Amino acid sequence: MQTAIEEARRGLAEGGIPIGAVIVHRGRIIGRGHNRRVQNGSAILHGEMDAFENAGRQPAAVYREAVLYTTLSPCVMCSGAILLYGIPRVVIGENHTFMGEEELLRARGVAVEVLQEPACIALMRDFIAQHPQLWNEDIGVGTEPALADEERRVAVEDGYRVWTRSVGGGAAAERPALLILHGGPGVPHDYLDGLAALAAPDRRVVFYDQLGCGRSDCPDEPGRWRLERFVAEIGRVREALGLDRVVLYGQSWGGMLAIEYALARPPGLAGLILANSTPSSALWGAEAARLRAELPAALRAILARHEAAGSTDHPDYQEAVWAYYRRHVLRIEPMPEHVRRSLEHIGQPYGVMWGPSEFHITGNLKDWDRSARLGEIAVPTLLISGEHDESTPAINRVMQQGIPGARWALLDGCSHLAHIEAPEAYLKALREFLAGL
């Protein structure tokens, strides 16, 4: 299996789909390969097929004593090849991200073993999140041509520019664009890349890195980071990209920003998705204190000591913070690559506006509270959050009761990055809401 994983990684490094396979005969590798559909423009070179091809022509007696290792559950095509050549045993890295024809193989007498290897799951989960289109093409869904995908820099204030990416669009009649507001403040959009799966010819999905993080300009000007400028920035981005009608999706801080923007009743706002968010910093802080009280006493002591001493940069503090994050921010390991990229590039606005951690709020958003004004939100609204989310059910209940007609999708077993933890359920809830807009 290790060799199959090496093959998968090789494929990824070539810009391809990370699936590898190895055929072993009497303890010796006779063929190894990886998915080369992208690299070779091939219609059939899945990892397993590539391994068959590289093994060359073999007598039936060899196949009948061979074992095929593959990092991912084999599709109907590859299962067909396995049955055709009478391979008696298949060892599968994982069937978490894709369930192939294991039942068919078993029904035909093949011994099938599934390892649920974390390395295999991580490779595919990261890849699917970042390249949903390529993956759909690989398994024969969504055969339409690739969507438009354009990056552009947009001028905001004082000559600074923000980076934007627009996916989809181009249909004769387009629905309102989905404009994505990332969290933080200052956590670049990368961790939300999976939402590109919602793009279609009639629906643009637009990402941007807010000023101060990611690929946007990052001036070292702590005084600049105030709520008002981020609200104005949304208007600049909409204007520059011609987004006359939008549904605003805001994750965490992005949801706070979306609430603030919606309260100004801007023209062309067709709907709101408030994901893992809050209408009030104080409410967030109170719920965070409650969750924090559930941590082991030793960790709580470390947190309190460093917060009192102002030494929140200390590695012990950061380590204790992660104990909380593993419960309430991201409950899966290993952390997907695009999430890591976001968290390793948090910009200056986070410390200035929020604080040293998710639950220790010291920044200029400390007193932000719009819970009494939620009734003024006059557009269709979807709330989405996780069972263990730091945006707790109590917080979302306040929003559901406050915003007229708001719907709420609460995802079992999930936390703050529910879109990473349960992507299918998450996207389904968003699709259902968007279908009406």
| CB atoms inside a 10 Å sphere around CB 416 | 26
Closer to Zn ion at the Cβ: 97 or 348?
A: 97
The secondary structure of 168-235 as a DSSP string is: ---SSSPPPEEEEE-STTT--GGGGGGGGGG-BTTB-EEEEPPTTSTTS-----GGG--HHHHHHHHH
Spatial distance between the Cα atoms of 311 and 303, rounded to a whole number of angstroms: 10
Q: Write down the least CB distance from residue 78 to Zn ion, Å.
A: 3
Contacting residue, 21, 51, 75, 177, with Zn ion by CB under 5 A = 75
Q: Write down the least CB distance from residue 75 to Zn ion, Å.
A: 3
| 416 catalytic residue (yes or no) | yes
Per CB under 5 A, the segment of 44-52, 91-99, 124-132, 271-279 that binds Zn ion is 44-52
Q: Write down the least CB distance from residue 417 to Zn ion, Å.
A: 30
Cα separation of the two ends of the chain: 46
User: How many residues line the site for Zn ion (CB under 5 A)?
Assistant: 4
Closer to Zn ion at the Cβ: 75 or 199?
A: 75
| 202 catalytic residue (yes or no) | no
Spatial distance between the Cα atoms of 23 and 284, rounded to a whole number of angstroms: 54
Of the CA atoms within 13 Å of residue 186, those in its CB half-sphere come to 25
Spatial distance between the Cα atoms of 336 and 391, rounded to a whole number of angstroms: 21
For residue 23, which of 60, 54, 45 has the smallest C-alpha distance? 54
Q: Write down the least CB distance from residue 20 to Zn ion, Å.
A: 12
Q: Write down the least CB distance from residue 47 to Zn ion, Å.
A: 7
Q: Write down the least CB distance from residue 260 to Zn ion, Å.
A: 48
Check: CB of residue 162 under 8 Å from CB of residue 234: no
Per CB under 5 A, the segment of 74-82, 116-124, 402-410, 415-423 that binds Zn ion is 74-82
Q: Which two tokens stand for residue 224?
A: 């600049």
46 lies in the site for Zn ion, by CB under 5 A: yes
Per CB under 5 A, the segment of 39-47, 255-263, 346-354, 411-419 that binds Zn ion is 39-47
Closer to Zn ion at the Cβ: 70 or 216?
A: 70
Per CB under 5 A, the segment of 42-50, 208-216, 401-409, 416-424 that binds Zn ion is 42-50
Catalytic residue among 389, 391, 415, 419: 389
78 lies in the site for Zn ion, by CB under 5 A: yes
DSSP lists the bridge partners of residue 382 as 273, 407
Kindly write out the interface string for residues 346-385 of this chain, putting x where it contacts Zn ion by CB under 5 A and - elsewhere. Answer: ----------------------------------------
CA distances from 69 to 76, 97, 161 (A): 16, 17, 49
Query: Strand pairing of 177-181 and 246-251?
Result: parallel
Catalytic residues: 252, 389, 416
Residues near Zn ion (CB under 5 A) are 46, 75, 77-78
